[in-house]
Amino acid sequence: MSDTIFSKIINREIDADIVHEDDQCLAFRDVNPQAPMHILVIPKKPIDMLVNAEDGDQALLGHLLLSARKIARNEGYGEAFRLVVNNGEAVGQSVFHLHVHILGGRDFAWPPG
């Protein structure tokens, strides 16, 4: 995987409004928020897309979701938030480093998109 803006944030080459960090992931506020709460949770391990995650990444993927739950709760949206993972350019993925969007604080339509 090539260097992405997210790998540069992990390496502190680019500033971000970081709201959570542990040994497996980093979370920061989206610079172009689509909701009052729009936070991205990224693994520190470079995985470009969910489709390319391996069976050995199962615990890491679960950790991303549980971290998202914790972050939403800490932000005051623990009962109502949406998680989004885009997989591929055709569905909106623009940075090819796996990331989970945490969105909350407004009404959302269904189906999305």
Per-residue pLDDT of the chain (113 residues; tens, 9 = 90+): 568 999 999 999 999 999 999 999 999 999 999 999 999 999 999 999 999 999 999 999 999 999 999 999 999 998 899 999 999 888 888 999 999 999 999 999 998 86
Q: Where are the domains of the chain?
A: 5-94
- CB–CB of 2/94 below 8 Å? no
Catalytic residue, chosen from 38, 63, 97, 99, is 99
- The CATH code for residues 5-94 is 3.30.428.10
- For 12, left (φ over 0), alpha (ψ -120 to 50), or beta? left
Per the structure block, which two tokens stand in for 25? 């992931």
Known catalytic membership, residue 97: no
What pLDDT score was predicted for residue 2? 65
Q: Which residues contact 64 (CB under 8 A, 6 or more apart)?
A: 24, 25, 41, 43, 98, 100
- Structure pTM? 0.94
What pLDDT score was predicted for residue 89? 87
